[in-house]
Structure 1
Amino acid sequence: MDSQTLAVHVPLSSKSDKIALLALKDKLTNGDPHALPSWNQSLHFCAWEGVTCSRPHMRVSALQLQNQYWGGTLAPSLGNLTFLKEINLTNINLHGEIPREVGHLKRLHILDLRQNNLQGQIPMEMINCSSLQVIALYYNNLTGKIPSWFGSMMQLTVLGLGANSFVGSIPASLGNLSSLELLSIAYNHLEGSITPALGRMSILKLLYMGVNNFSSQLPSSLYNLSNIQELSFTDNQLVGTLHSNLPMAFPNLQILECGGNRLTGTFPSSISNLSELQVFDSSENDFHGPISPTLGSLPKLQLFNVGHNRYGSGRADDLDFLSSLKNCTQLQVLAIENNYLGGVLTDLIGNLSSNLFWLSMGANQIYGRIPEAIGKLINLTLLGMDANSLEGTIPYTIGKLKNLVGLSLGVNKLLGNIPLVIGNLTMLSEVGLESNKFEGFIPFTLANCTKMERFYAHDNNLSGNIPTQIFSYQQGLVVLSLHSNSFTGPIPFDLGNLKHLSILRLQENKLTGEIPMGLSACSALTELALGRNSFHGSILSLLGSLLSLEILDLSHNNFSSTIPHELVNLTLLNTLNLSFNNLSGEVPVGGVFKNITAISLTGNKHLCGGIPQLNLPPCPALPLHKKHKRSIKKRVILTIAFAGFLIIFVTFISIYLLKKKAKKLSIKSLALQYGYVKVSYGELHQTTNGFSSSNLVGTGNFGAVYRGTLDHFERPVAVKVLNLQTRGASKSFVSECKALGKIKHRNLVSILTCCSSVDYKGNDFKAIVFEFMSNGSLETLLHNNVEDSESTNLSLNLVQRVNIALDVAFALDYLHNDSWEAVVHCDIKPSNVLLDDDMVAHLGDFGLARLINDATSHSSSNQASSSAIKGTIGYIPPEYGAGSSVSIEGDMYSYGIFLLEMVTGKKPTDGMFGEDLSLHMFCNMAIPERISEIVDSRLLIPWPIDEQERRGVRRHQNMEENFTEECVASFARIGVACSQEIPNEWMSIKDGITELHSIKQKLSC
């Protein structure tokens, strides 16, 4: 029904609804003129976004506006919409109070104001809304007591008050709600005893009371709730024991969470008869005794958490219950840490569920070796075995756990070398190997673990140099703890590339040399501990630029010269230990040096000055003739510096001229120039079976790619054969060899060698040999346009797409900012992104790449011609078509379109796009309200319930979808920001990485 028809049939009385809605909009959106654009005079209010009208009266019956960022308030005019049956204003950042006028809505059935910032008390006038069936106020800041008059709302089926700031006790009147199926009061500040009146709610299915301050025992009346399916009262102060016969009381129980209390008694073995049980959490209590060996009768068990109790007695049979868990084929989480469980782990552990992703058994009394069968649990993301008495070596089979994110083996008796197979675990984020007996070197394969954030290997017998080019691959590294070993040599200079490094502990080793200047670039450092080594030289004044530094320990070394005055700039520094060095001269008096308890200077015999509490001798006055000598010395230094500058300038000009001349060299010398292994045409002909179609992987603008195997390389290779009849092919070959010959990065396709020769017919032949990527191109996975590809069965989820986006972003950041010379790729698109065995993305096809110096030096008028346009239609920035020269900003535009293609699953050249609509416009118009309408349908999947929510307020299905949509919308925003029409509005690659990291962290929670 169009708006004109509505205007004819709507009664005059409905005009009051329009007035009320307009007043509501003004408060709801904070007066934002761009918000709710459909709420205008050209449309009838029944056609406005989020408004539903009843047919008989054409009055507003439902108001549904979700997932906005307005930050407004609820206007009293809401109470004038007297025909309202449903209000759904979830996640629109509301603040202020719930207006009393809500009490006028006597027809209201559903009031859903979840995930806002509402404050104040629930207005008493709501008692008039006697038809209410659902009250959902989760995740606000509501205060006061839970109203006792809720007990008069006899039609209520859902009462959701969780995640607020309610105080007081549970009103006994809630026991009158005979129709209630869900009651959530978790995550509040409630206290006192749990009222026995709750036991009268005979049809209650879901009861969440966790994270409050309830005390006393569970009332016995709760065991009358025979229909209960989910019961959670975690993190309170409850005492007593669990009912001895839970199956009889709760025959339908699926979730039982009682962790974080003061419950006592033995393990309730009767839970083995709860055939529907999925989650059992009794962690952080005072249970004791053995764990029942009959858990195998729980076929639906997914989470079993009994950590932080007193289970076990250190005996050999304490772990017998593990064998029964092999029948729990849906088990995902097994947590038994911080108990007294003894015994030996056997190969039976390999019989646990293949769905198991969390295995935590640290801080027990387990001994013996780590069984090789651990390698069968291939879906593990966390393996925690720390603080036991495990011995022997780490089994080689641990390299099969390729999904492992956290590995904790610290504080055991493990020995031998850290196995090379640790490099297979490319998803690792945190590794704990500390306080064992490991020896030997840090394995070079650790460089493959590019997602590493925390690495603990202190207090072992490791030796040798700390290797270069291992930790530099781990750009997200936050903690590196290698202290108390026997490392020698200098600090690797490339640690200065770790921009996120916060804690660096290298004390108590045998390290030598000076502090590398690169460390001053680690601006996130909060702790730098280098004590008890053999470092020498001066203390870098550049350390004064590390403004986040809180702890600096350089004690027990051979540092000389003076204390840099720049250290007074470190306003957060609270511990400075410079003791037992050879420092001399005046001690500064500002900053940390004013706090006698924060500094240690003992063992430096030639220091003077400082604050009086140091009791140091005063510094001698500097004689005038010495001052004059210093002035002369300063002039000499400036003269030498100027002469050095001239020498460097002349050298630079010479090198530049030589480089220009070198560009004319024959391409035949490329392999030698970059140190590649030489391959002949015959070898490439043989390995590709004569360049047969059976070995063909794909075709591109300038040639075809074949799969093969060469004796020089252990893994399969991809051979790109240039079609020299295609215009620009030879130039593409030169560009690609030149670009890839001097740049190396984990997210770039590695060039192995190149070949410039003649074929068997005497024709020119040019080919480039790359690493082979087993999962093919991203375009294949997005669009399934290769029917025979093994990878077409893969469906990329949101987490994988965000990881791929980050990988490509890291590659661009390196090309633009960190390579030897800035490189413009010129052709960012899914077909040029290749995926390896572990789904790590590698940017390839540098046939159009330009070194930035080349690009700028050739920005003449002839570049404005269409033939000079660099890239692929749909991904080319608009200004390229207008004659602008290539730039790193142009790459950002292409990257933005690339992201939007991953979000929507649509190419920028899709038939639906034309002059009036582009992929950028299509996404920009849909963010965030209509993101679900444009997104690739494979991304909108239900989100799993996290452990914190299981302990309190559980997400409903629509909440899970909203969370997924929120992340997808954030993903799309980055693509839109990178592909704006005006170049200076494009997002930088570093900002894009930050935003993508934020999405990744939300998805990993």
Structure 2
Amino acid sequence: MVPMLSLLAHILLLASSSVSIYHVNDDLSVLLSFKYYIKNDPGQALSSWDATDNGTNNLSTDFCRWNGIACNDRRHPGRVTAIRLRGSDLGGTISPHIGNLTQLQHIDLSQNNLLGEIPVSLGSCTELRTMNLSVNQLSGSLFPDPLGHLSKLKVFNVRHNNLTGVIPITLSNLTALTNLSVESNNLQGQIPSWLCNLTSLAAIDLAHNGLDGHIPSELGKLTKVATLMIQGNQLEGPVPASIFNISSIQHLDLRFNQLSGSLPLDIGFQLPNILFFATSGNQFEGLIPASFSNASALESFLIRRNQYHGLIPRDIGIQCNLKLFSVGYNQFQTSQPREWDFLTSLNNCSKLQLLDLEQNNFVGIMPVTIANLSKELTWLTIARNQIAGTIAELGMFQKLIMLTLGDNLFTGTLPVDIGRLRSLQILDLSHNRFEGQIPQSLGNITGLSKLSISNNYLNGTIPTSLGKLRALASMDISCNFLSGRIPQEILSIPALTILLKLSNNALSGSIPTQIGHLNNLIAIDLSMNKLTGEIPDDIGSCVQLQLLHLQGNILQGKLPKGLEKLGVLENLDLSRNNLIGPIPEFLERIKTLNHLNLSFNNLSGPVPDTGIFCNATILSLTGNSMLCGGPPFLQFPSCASVHSQHRMHLLIVFCIPGTLIFLLFSITTYCCIKRRVKPNIVYQENLFLSEAHERISYNQLRSATQSFSPANLIGSGSFGNVYIGTFIIDENLATVAIKVINLNLRGASRSFLTECNALRRIRHRNLVKVITVCSGLDHNGDEFKALVLEFICNGSLDEWLHPNTMENSMTAKRLSLMRRLCIALDVAVALEYLHHNIEPPIVHSDIKPSNILLDDDLVAHVTDFGLAKIMYAEVWNKNHGGNESSSLAVKGTIGYVPPYGSGYGVSTDGDIYSYGVLLLEMLTGKRPTDSFDHGTSLVSYVKMAYPNKLLEILDVSATYSGNTQDVIDLVIHPMFGIALACCQDSPRQRIKMDYVVEELKAIKKACAALMGS
């Protein structure tokens, strides 16, 4: 790097140089200035940039030979015409003097680490044809006003930077522009209609910004456009028909917006040159036009996650050029064999690499023609349908990387030739009806990283050949009929870091000591088997373990000392075994533990009274009759009554020390009890942050969400937006939901504090888990607050019940009556926990379908505690003259808010009413805000049909099997009855949540018997 003094010396020499070489030396000074502003050059890309005095007071003009510099203009010899330093890893800023290179025609500084703004002096480079500053860290305005003079500019590429603002009108002066790329910046505002004046444009890339509004119809005038990419913004409304009339388009990417409408029936004729067509992640509806079969050049057809329906055109692949075909998460259907003809036409596509039919309404037997698909196939997913039949001849697809057939009705055995899929990385055959043994050949897929064959009817033993899967990170073979011992070989897989789940089988023998080899594994679930012997002390070597489930076995012996080494353990369940001995004191020292179940064993001795043992909501020790002591809520007998003679002996021998110990114990116990019953009146967020939850920075959240990109937006609420993001947690990539509070809204800050105060106190499988919080300043210095929550992957209950209004196109037909009953029970259990199992109780205040999230197994999780109320805090305020005005305010969402009468404030009875409305909505498929005859409400609508006309108002998509009358009598009628009992006008007449849970469990048992008969 040229020091400042050297640079000044060069400038002085330039001043004394002859006029004939003035411009040459001026270019030299600019280049030296450019080098000076580069602060980091690890690859020595500028090492050849040097200027020497040859003793004649003339500077060397060999800069035309410097790396990245070109001087090719014959009319202006010795003048710089091009700077090309692409991918040189340069750091620093772009020299503000670069505009003095007045003959510059091409500048390419892409793929570096340059900071600062785009220099306004570039506006003086009127000969500039190409400006490529992409993939840097530039900030500021997209296109400074002086750059509007670059009338010869053809290529303007600044994608992947941090540029802000709107698309400036100065761009409209660039009439020669053919390529405009501003992808992945932070641009806002609308797409300007004046873009249509740039008639030479052949490529427009506005993707992954924050653009909103509608797509202007004027863009249809750009008849030379071959590439139009606007994915990953917040655009809404229908796509103008004029866009689909640009016959020159080859790449049209509209993914991940909020666009709606349907496709023109003649689109295949209007876009004869289309190669890439993508509308994934929008709200498009209607049919796939049959005219797409005329798009002879079409290679990529991506319309995943919309609301398209009907049949897939039978000739969709007749042109034979398709490589990517993705129609997952829509409402396409098949009801008879001929409707699978589209699969036959796809057999013509010899280059097909991806086939995605996931989560639609495909039913019936999978055609045998699937075996004729391209041997180039790398991704095949037909999961979450109702496809039946057997699978065979898969071994021919030897380039497959992903194969997912889960959640279907496949039967038969797993084919032996599955081991020929040597390239496979993800295999999901779960939730089907496969039977027979797991093929030994499965161990030949040595690159496999995820294996899920759970919830089938597989039997036999676990093949030892699975130990050869050295790249396997997650293995789930639970819920089958497997027997025999756990092979030692699978416990020595070095890559097994995410999940080992062998639960709900008939495995026997002891747990191999080799389990200690899994020192990076996060979750182990061996529950509900027939395992015997002791829990090996080697389990302590699994130092990254967060979940350990061994319940429902025949394990014996004491709790191993090795558990003490599990410093990040969160969930430990050893219940329903034959464990003996005392409860180790080290368990109370594991700060991360938020669920401990040791119930129904033969444990004995005193119960610790600190740490997790002071929290009744996350601890279970029932069924251990020989335990004593502990916190009062456990109701164990005093240890003094069990060992009175021994204690009397100690008192005699050690009278004085014993007295002191007793006094200390009494004071400690008193403080513990006092702390438990002390009114919770503190609402400051630091109480939440002072616990084990580690704060996270704004920059980490910004990075995890790609600068809070609209493509990462998954929901919004009253006080902010929710984004999906990814973090490295304990050296593992984790997906989370990030709730960003809009502090400009009235009450938002209070809502954040309320949610923190509630979430810090609760731990339950049916409540969304909080991971951490962020409270600080954003990059503008403004106050910033956010909650980081666990990501629940299957959307909200509202999206499942009302598919016509959701973004993900899930189908309510997948929610059978039994599924709805299970979800209702999950929500009831969560509310029972909030109302009855913690002190002080918590009122959620906003129970509704959009606040119920469903995970991969359709287990419900209640979320959004922004309106929650901790009851004893309110009581304390009233008793001490406080004024909690919001406690008497009506909280919640219209339609779910209970009819509070005079004198009734927020209470658990309000949650019960909202739950009743929720249950009615699940049963009828109608929202409480829908229109009903004679202006009645949903509750009144159901009351008029109860009890004799319930089948008439039952949601038609709530399918069930078994005798209809039995289902009505034992399931439907009781569920409606519970819902109406929750919706009584008088709070005193509403049933409590513990009773609701008890009744729903009984209904579920009856429902299971009926559905299985």
Q: TM-score, normalised by structure 2?
A: 0.58
8 Å Cα contact 2:466/2:489 also seen in 1: no
Q: Which amino acid aligns with 1:521?
A: S
Whole-angstrom distance in 2 between the partners of 1:385 and 1:33: 48
Partner of 1:461: 481
8 Å Cα contact 2:559/2:579 also seen in 1: yes
**How far is 1:329 from its partner?**
1.1
**How far is 1:587 from its partner?**
4.3
**How far is 1:212 from its partner?**
1.2
Residue correspondence of structure 1 range 150-161 to structure 2 within 5 A? 150-161=171-182
Output one character per residue of 1:129-161: Cα deviation in whole Å (capped at 9) or x when no partner: 232211111112222112232122111111101
Whole-angstrom distance in 2 between the partners of 1:588 and 1:60: 79
Partner of 1:214: 235
Residues 1:89 and 2:99 aligned together: no
Unaligned runs of 5+ in 1: 1-5, 631-1005
Partner of 1:168: 189
Q: Which amino acid aligns with 1:249?
A: Q
Partner secondary structure for residue 268 of structure 2? helix
Closer/same/farther in 2, CA of residues 435 and 570 from structure 1, 3 Å limit? same
* Aligned with 2:66 (options 30, 44, 48): 48
Closer/same/farther in 2, CA of residues 609 and 165 from structure 1, 3 Å limit? farther
Whole-angstrom distance in 2 between the partners of 1:533 and 1:270: 60
Whole-angstrom distance in 1 between the partners of 2:521 and 2:162: 36
Closer/same/farther in 2, CA of residues 48 and 520 from structure 1, 3 Å limit? farther
**How far is 1:9 from its partner?**
12
Partner secondary structure for residue 555 of structure 1? coil
Q: Which amino acid aligns with 1:512?
A: T
Residues 1:603 and 2:613 aligned together: no
8 Å Cα contact 2:574/2:599 also seen in 1: yes
* Aligned with 1:14 (options 19, 24, 31): 24
Whole-angstrom distance in 1 between the partners of 2:20 and 2:551: 82
Partner secondary structure for residue 514 of structure 2? helix
Partner of 2:981: none
Q: TM-score, normalised by structure 1?
A: 0.59
Whole-angstrom distance in 2 between the partners of 1:628 and 1:300: 93
Output one character per residue of 1:582-636: Cα deviation in whole Å (capped at 9) or x when no partner: 3344544555445443333333344455556656566659969769999xxxxxx
Partner of 1:352: 373
**How far is 1:506 from its partner?**
0.9
* Aligned with 1:277 (options 283, 295, 298): 298
Partner secondary structure for residue 36 of structure 1? coil
Whole-angstrom distance in 1 between the partners of 2:652 and 2:277: 83
8 Å Cα contact 1:11/1:57 also seen in 2: no
Residues 1:25 and 2:35 aligned together: yes
Output one character per residue of 1:2-57: Cα deviation in whole Å (capped at 9) or x when no partner: xxxx9999923333333333333333325989773323345743333322234534
Partner of 2:119: 99
Q: How many residue pairs are counted as aligned between the two chains?
A: 625
Partner of 2:536: 516
Residues 1:559 and 2:579 aligned together: yes
* Aligned with 1:451 (options 471, 483, 498): 471
Closer/same/farther in 2, CA of residues 479 and 14 from structure 1, 3 Å limit? same
Closer/same/farther in 2, CA of residues 32 and 308 from structure 1, 3 Å limit? closer
8 Å Cα contact 1:542/1:566 also seen in 2: no
Please say which of residues 349-358 and 572-581 is displaced more in the overlay: 572-581
Whole-angstrom distance in 2 between the partners of 1:593 and 1:120: 55
8 Å Cα contact 2:30/2:101 also seen in 1: yes
Output one character per residue of 1:820-869: Cα deviation in whole Å (capped at 9) or x when no partner: xxxxxxxxxxxxxxxxxxxxxxxxxxxxxxxxxxxxxxxxxxxxxxxxxx
8 Å Cα contact 1:30/1:73 also seen in 2: no
**How far is 1:180 from its partner?**
0.6
Partner of 1:671: none
Partner secondary structure for residue 72 of structure 1? strand
Partner secondary structure for residue 237 of structure 2? coil
Q: Which amino acid aligns with 1:260?
A: G
Partner secondary structure for residue 259 of structure 2? coil
Partner secondary structure for residue 149 of structure 1? helix
Residues 1:108 and 2:128 aligned together: yes
Partner of 1:487: 507
Closer/same/farther in 2, CA of residues 83 and 444 from structure 1, 3 Å limit? same
Q: Which amino acid aligns with 2:353?
A: Q
Output one character per residue of 1:928-964: Cα deviation in whole Å (capped at 9) or x when no partner: xxxxxxxxxxxxxxxxxxxxxxxxxxxxxxxxxxxxx
Partner secondary structure for residue 234 of structure 1? coil
Closer/same/farther in 2, CA of residues 318 and 484 from structure 1, 3 Å limit? farther
Partner secondary structure for residue 419 of structure 2? helix
**How far is 1:322 from its partner?**
1.3
Whole-angstrom distance in 1 between the partners of 2:508 and 2:633: 37
Closer/same/farther in 2, CA of residues 45 and 504 from structure 1, 3 Å limit? same
Whole-angstrom distance in 2 between the partners of 1:79 and 1:625: 95
Whole-angstrom distance in 2 between the partners of 1:278 and 1:387: 29
8 Å Cα contact 1:145/1:167 also seen in 2: yes
Partner of 2:424: 404
Closer/same/farther in 2, CA of residues 115 and 31 from structure 1, 3 Å limit? closer
**How far is 1:487 from its partner?**
0.8
Whole-angstrom distance in 2 between the partners of 1:567 and 1:71: 51
* Aligned with 1:72 (options 79, 92, 96): 92
* Aligned with 2:397 (options 377, 381, 384): 377
Residues 1:390 and 2:410 aligned together: yes
Whole-angstrom distance in 2 between the partners of 1:429 and 1:447: 13
Partner secondary structure for residue 35 of structure 2? helix
**How far is 1:542 from its partner?**
3.0
Partner of 2:49: 39
**How far is 1:382 from its partner?**
1.8
Residues 1:143 and 2:153 aligned together: no
Unaligned runs of 5+ in 2: 1-13, 53-59, 655-1013
Residue correspondence of structure 1 range 675-714 to structure 2 within 5 A? none
Residue correspondence of structure 1 range 823-834 to structure 2 within 5 A? none
Residues 1:200 and 2:210 aligned together: no
**How far is 1:488 from its partner?**
0.9
Closer/same/farther in 2, CA of residues 51 and 590 from structure 1, 3 Å limit? farther
RMSD: 2.9
Output one character per residue of 1:231-251: Cα deviation in whole Å (capped at 9) or x when no partner: 010111111100101122111
Closer/same/farther in 2, CA of residues 33 and 335 from structure 1, 3 Å limit? closer
Please say which of residues 28-37 and 471-480 is displaced more in the overlay: 28-37
8 Å Cα contact 1:414/1:437 also seen in 2: yes
8 Å Cα contact 1:234/1:257 also seen in 2: yes
8 Å Cα contact 2:538/2:562 also seen in 1: no
Q: Which amino acid aligns with 1:366?
A: I
Q: Which amino acid aligns with 2:424?
A: L
**How far is 1:331 from its partner?**
0.9
Residues 1:533 and 2:553 aligned together: yes
Closer/same/farther in 2, CA of residues 262 and 475 from structure 1, 3 Å limit? closer
Identical counterparts, % of pairs: 38
Closer/same/farther in 2, CA of residues 9 and 608 from structure 1, 3 Å limit? farther
Closer/same/farther in 2, CA of residues 295 and 130 from structure 1, 3 Å limit? same
Q: Which amino acid aligns with 1:51?
A: I
Whole-angstrom distance in 1 between the partners of 2:119 and 2:564: 54
Partner of 1:746: none
Residue correspondence of structure 1 range 360-759 to structure 2 within 5 A? 360-370=381-391, 372-588=392-608, 591-593=611-613, 595-607=615-627, 614=634
**How far is 1:288 from its partner?**
1.2
**How far is 1:185 from its partner?**
0.7
Residues 1:239 and 2:260 aligned together: yes
Output one character per residue of 1:949-985: Cα deviation in whole Å (capped at 9) or x when no partner: xxxxxxxxxxxxxxxxxxxxxxxxxxxxxxxxxxxxx
Q: Which amino acid aligns with 1:138?
A: R
Whole-angstrom distance in 1 between the partners of 2:468 and 2:556: 33
8 Å Cα contact 1:438/1:462 also seen in 2: yes
Output one character per residue of 1:446-502: Cα deviation in whole Å (capped at 9) or x when no partner: 122222121111111111110112341454453211111111112222122123322
Partner secondary structure for residue 519 of structure 1? helix
Q: Which amino acid aligns with 1:89?
A: L
Partner of 1:760: none
Please say which of residues 374-383 and 440-449 is displaced more in the overlay: 374-383
Partner secondary structure for residue 26 of structure 1? helix
Whole-angstrom distance in 2 between the partners of 1:130 and 1:585: 87
